[in-house]
């Protein structure tokens, strides 16, 4: 791992259900930081819609991330940085997943992670709509191996132990807790 890796974690309050405004906000934040040598940019969970169940569930992206991930991939290529696209709702064979995409500097999706531990506690109902993933993922970027997780996964230390065993040098955990 490059010990001088530049990492930027973006956190913002998305406009509920407004993908265009939210993607524009991400690009604005990337422009503000384009003078830095960034090896990784982390974008939050549900960055394109916020926690807006109608927008998330009624307009999910396909297994390749659809137009949302295409736009994020164009940012990775334009700004020559790796990006973890926090998460979007992905639809595969009529199942919905809370999925994070790993995109390299060339704008290529090189890995994706489907959230394993869904938030079904203290009034959380994620499991009523979303199917849990079942595979931990470590992505091999050009500067480090990055272990992927999303939000509530943080409550499960064995998930992170598995990522370490798989060679992760950095852990990421994009969340929507700030909303």
Distance between first and last Cα of the chain: 32
Low-confidence ranges of the chain (pLDDT < 50): 179
Measure the CA–CA gap between 83 and 27, rounded to whole angstroms: 12
The contacts of residue 122 (CB under 8 Å, 6+ apart) are none
State residue 58's pLDDT score.
73
State residue 151's pLDDT score.
94
State residue 1's pLDDT score.
61
- What CA–CA distances, in Å, run from 53 to 16, 21, 125, 128, 134? 9, 17, 11, 12, 23
Measure the CA–CA gap between 26 and 177, rounded to whole angstroms: 18
State residue 44's pLDDT score.
96
Listed by start position, the domains of the chain span 7-172
State residue 72's pLDDT score.
98
The contacts of residue 25 (CB under 8 Å, 6+ apart) are 12, 14, 15
7-172 topology per CATH: Nitrilase/N-carbamoyl-D-aminoacid amidohydrolase (3.60.110)
State residue 175's pLDDT score.
92
pTM value > 0.85? yes
pLDDT one-digit tens code per residue, 14-46: 999 999 999 999 999 999 999 999 999 999 999
Measure the CA–CA gap between 120 and 1, rounded to whole angstroms: 36
State residue 179's pLDDT score.
47
State residue 63's pLDDT score.
87
Q: Are 23 and 50 in contact (CB under 8 A)?
A: no
């Amino acid at each position: 791992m490059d010990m001088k890796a530049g990492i930027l974690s973006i956190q913002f309050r998305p406009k509920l259900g407004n993908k265009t405004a939210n993607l524009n906000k991400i690009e604005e934040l990337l422009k503000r930081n384009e003078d830095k040598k960034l090896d990784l940019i982390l974008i939050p969970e549900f960055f394109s819609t916020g926690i807006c169940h109608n927008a998330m569930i009624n307009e999910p992206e396909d297994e390749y991330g659809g137009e949302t991930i295409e736009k994020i991939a164009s940012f990775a290529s334009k700004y020559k940085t790796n990006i973890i696209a926090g998460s979007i709702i992905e639809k595969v064979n009529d199942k919905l997943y809370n999925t994070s995409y790993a995109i390299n500097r060339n704008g290529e999706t090189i890995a994706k992670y489907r959230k394993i531990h869904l938030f079904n506690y203290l009034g959380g109902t994620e499991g009523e709509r979303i199917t849990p993933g079942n595979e931990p993922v470590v992505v091999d970027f050009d500067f480090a191996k990055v272990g992927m997780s999303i939000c509530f996964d943080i409550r499960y230390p064995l998930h992170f132990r598995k990522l370490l065993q798989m060679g992760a040098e950095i852990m990421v955990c994009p969340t929507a807790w700030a909303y």
